[in-house]
Chains A and B, each alone.
Chain A
Amino acid sequence: MAFRGIGGWLDDRIGLEGVRRMAEEKTVPVHRHSPWYYFGGMTLFFFLVQVATGILLMLYYRPSSEEAYESVQFIVTQVPFGWLIRSIHSWSANLMVGAAFVHLFSVFFLKAYRRPRELTWLSGFVLLILALGFGFSGYLLPWNKLAYFATRVGTDIAGSVPLVGEFVLRFLRGGDHVTGGTLSRFYGWHVAILPAITVALLGLHLWLVQRHGMSVTPAEERKGGARRRMPFVPDFLLRDLFGWTIALAVLAALAALFPWELGEKADPFAPAPANIKPEWYFMFMFQTLKYVPGGEIVGIENEAIAILGFGAIGLLAFLVPFLDRGVVRVGRSPGFTIVGVAGILYIVLLTVLGYHSWVPAAAAAVLFLVPWLAGRGADSGREER
């Protein structure tokens, strides 16, 4: 009785009844592509892990070029479980970007960006860019050699864009060079500005997902008839939580067995170490630039042309809901599917070349094949029944 009283009291004020009804009515379509629905939630899970561990790291981290490295060293050597928290933060960042990429490509191939979900795609795309911004800014914070030179290279690349390059470079570095000022600036972006924008945009993204429900493929739509659906609460939610538990287990195992290295303290007057490399998700662009010969065409450096090319591809991907007219008119757009596959293959190939390792290809194969096979298996099993 008391519980009902409290529930009623709260309901009068914040409308819990609406939330309860929404949870009850929400369903998830069941079909051969359903496994892809889990990757958005997976990305969200890793994001929540990032928020929690990031706040914990802020309690000991000191954002200055004199103290940053030492404070991280203190975290991983002196603070109880500090090594674990820091290692989880680094690993989860990478897994989050990985899950976001799978999420993006699955939405792309399932054509879920089509009307009325254009804004969901646009907000999701910007969220991915923000995730890359988190990665780029966070990479510098331990102030080690690798990060220091990777940031010099990364900001230098951004600076080679014609017209705006000079401004962008100074804006990113907080001056002409990568210094302690850059570190303060990256820290501000990493812990305040990016989180604020991300939370607002994530709210919009999730609200849009609730508003429109899960998308089904055009082919599935054409089948017509009654579609199999699963209640979100508890059926899908429990499956989601099961996935999160596995994700946490994988994360803990990676963080404990392969603790993230700290490296050596950055020294602006020491030569760059061999093998400086960016985070893996920048590798395909970084590697592409290695193949671009020096020189210029009509007064623009070749490198700048390659960078502008990536920018143009990004812009086209961003605008895909408005470019793909075929899927709206006739319910199919194989050209876009082929371009998407080519995109994945390009990213994987260049990453493999960048690392001289097949691990990226194997990881990509597992991430894309397992959900695909799981969906097919479940589907054929159902048809037999």
Chain B
Amino acid sequence: MQEIRRSDTRQMPRRRFLDRLLGVSVVGLATAVVYPIVRYLSPPEVPEAASNRVLAAKVSELEQSPAKIFPFGSEAGILIRSPDGEYRAFAATCTHLECTVQFHEPSKRIWCACHNGWYDMNGRNVAGPPPKPLERYTVQVEGDEIFVSRS
């Protein structure tokens, strides 16, 4: 009797000790399985395209049409020749929901077809849902080649 009472009051009974040990082991095992899976599910950072400066177009291309979509890293950029002959480049990703914009020649504005968003020739959001202006890039003309870089 005394034996049992002592184990009740001062010591942990063997059964409960083993149960806890088992519980800790099961939690440990579950963690060892779940942790790698959770880490695996989050994609690794892929380094951005190294080039911050790309050849966007030839001058001759923009003589035929006033705008061109060009690849800038993994995203699209848009290069526009304004009526006074100045080149302007913007990120072509609409600030609303990431569709790619296009140049709307009749109105001389930039248009996003997805939700009818409008930007002016300076990339400012002037109508429709876009919340912010388009990111503007720096344009350099070298001979016949037009380079665009992130400023």
Contact = CB atoms under 8 A, between A and B. Distances in A.
Q: Do A and B bind each other?
A: yes
Interface of A: 56, 59-60, 78-82, 84-85, 245, 248, 252
B41 A85 contact: no
A296 B48 CA distance: 61
Contact of B39 (A59, A81, A245, A248): A81
A84 B36 contact: yes
Contacts of B44: 78-80
B130 to A, nearest CB: 32
Interface of B: 29, 32, 36-37, 39-44, 46
A36 to B, nearest CB: 26
Contact of B41 (A59, A78, A84, A248): A59
A352 to B, nearest CB: 35
A248 B32 CA distance: 11
A248 B25 CA distance: 14
B37 A56 contact: yes
A85 B43 contact: no
A81 B43 contact: no
A146 to B, nearest CB: 25
B29 A80 contact: no
A81 B36 contact: yes
Nearest to A80: B39
B42 to A, nearest CB: 7
Contact of A80 (B32, B42, B46): B42
Contacts of A80: 36, 39-40, 42, 44
A200 B40 CA distance: 30
Contacts of A79: 40, 43-44
Contacts of B39: 80-81
A81 B29 contact: no
A252 B33 CA distance: 10
B36 A85 contact: yes
Nearest to A56: B40
Most interface-central of B32, B39, B42, B46 (chain A CB within 10 A): B39
A79 B44 CA distance: 6
Contacts of B42: 80
A372 B125 CA distance: 78
